[in-house]
Amino acid sequence: MLKIDGACLEGGGQIVRSAVALSAVTGIPVEIFRIRENRKKAGLGHQHCAAVRAVACACRGRMEGNEPGSRRLVFIPGDVRETECVADVGTAGSIPLVIQAWLPVALMKGGEIEITGGTEVPGSPTIDYLENVLVPALGTAGTGVVIRVIRRGYYPAGGGIVRVRVNPAEPARLSIEKDVSCGIRSCSSGLPPHVAERQATRAHLLLSRALRIDIPVEIQRSEGVVKGSSCTAWCGSKGASSLGRPGFPAEKVGEEAATGLINEINSQGEVDAYLSDQLLLYLARYGGSYTASGFTLHARTMCWLLSLFGFEIQVREGREVVFSA
């Protein structure tokens, strides 16, 4: 059994989610200890437990210690097969982070999952980033991934529902496409219609000026008791997002998403800083290469974790960072 120090390097939930995903795809049982030891609230959170359950469903895995607050987790994978899974985070915990753990496993044999939780929450990519940045970056593997948002869920209430269908994919070397698509998606729930429109208008104005192209805009509004808003902008394998919060004008939400994307576009590399570590598991399994503006702590953590499973990522630092396998 492979023993993994959950407090190493970044020391967060990324280690747990990625370790159980790697365990499932390699068949190597793992014991993760000192989970999130240096965090303000150490141990597993509800979102981490939901991610572990989702991976276990996809591979008929067995778990020990998968409960909130636990600082030790044992995961013993079974056979990966096509499955239909249901995962309820139980809080406004991130649905996209649960999908990130489940997706590499589901791509092996295909499957479906329905997850309840938060679609756009602090400290996590939005569901729109996942759909429009991460999935397309997977190339041919990503073409069989269909994400459907049934209901938006925002912090602190949660209550969002997302269904994902995945067709099995033959591994294909990662290569970032040069022909890029750009877009803005502005969303709101339980708020007046003008909120999402103001977010979108400001983001569109700034991005159109900076990129000198007319970027498509999509506005999604829904009624309900859950109140919240978000704006996600992307161009190729770079994206940025912003969440609405009390006292923060809608125009500022759109501006934050737009300026975040503009900064990423003006930086070196083919992918943004967040995508650089999210792709590493797929790079290790499929091969290929891509570039990023820097070697982040999350990326360093993933390279360390992958090496424990026998995957070696080549990293060349210079004006930009080249990741290859």
Q: Residue 166's domain is classified under what CATH number?
A: 3.65.10.20
| 102 and 213 belong to one structural domain | no
117 closest CA partner among 157, 147, 85: 157
| 136 and 187 belong to one structural domain | no
Residue 280 lies in a domain: no
Report in angstroms the alpha-carbon separations of 253 from 20, 200, 256.
35, 9, 5
Q: How many CA atoms lie within 13 A of 307 on its CB side?
A: 10
Residue 44 lies in a domain: yes
Among 145, 174, 203, which residue terminates a domain?
174
The string of pLDDT tens digits covering residues 114-124 is 999 999 999 99
Cα 316 to Cα 153: distance, rounded to the nearest angstrom: 40
Residue 62 lies in a domain: yes
Look at residue 126 in the predicted model and tell me its pLDDT: 98
Residue 314 lies in a domain: no
The string of pLDDT tens digits covering residues 6-23 is 999 999 999 999 999 999
Residue 109 has which token pair? Answer: 């044999």
Residue 77 lies in a domain: yes
Mean model confidence pLDDT for the chain: 96
The string of pLDDT tens digits covering residues 23-46 is 999 999 999 999 999 998 999 999
3-state secondary structure of 243: strand
Residue 155 lies in a domain: yes
| 119 and 32 belong to one structural domain | yes
Cβ atoms of 164 and 58 within 8 Å: the answer is: no
Look at residue 91 in the predicted model and tell me its pLDDT: 87
Cβ atoms of 87 and 55 within 8 Å: the answer is: no
200 closest CA partner among 218, 227, 221, 181: 218
Residue 310 lies in a domain: no
pLDDT at 225 over 80: no
So which residues are the catalytic ones?
Answer: 298
Residue 275 lies in a domain: no
**How much is the pTM?**
0.96
Domain of residue 241 covers: 182-265
* Residue 104 main-chain phi, psi, to 5 deg: -60, -30
> Given CA atoms 19, 288, 138, 274 in this order, what sign does their dihedral have?
positive
Q: DSSP secondary-structure letter at 11?
A: -
Burial class (CB in 10 A: 0-12, 13-18, 19+), 106: buried
Tell me: cis bond preceding 156? Omega within 30 of 0 counts. yes
Among 158, 174, 190, which residue terminates a domain?
174
pLDDT confidence band for 226 (50 / 70 / 90): confident
Percent of the chain residues topping a pLDDT of 90: 91
| 39 and 170 belong to one structural domain | yes
The string of pLDDT tens digits covering residues 107-164 is 999 999 999 999 999 999 999 999 999 999 999 889 999 999 999 999 988 999 999 9
Residue 129 has which token pair? Answer: 């980033």
pLDDT at 172 over 90: no
| 89 and 144 belong to one structural domain | yes
| 25 and 136 belong to one structural domain | yes
| 188 and 260 belong to one structural domain | yes
Number of independent structural domains in the chain: 2
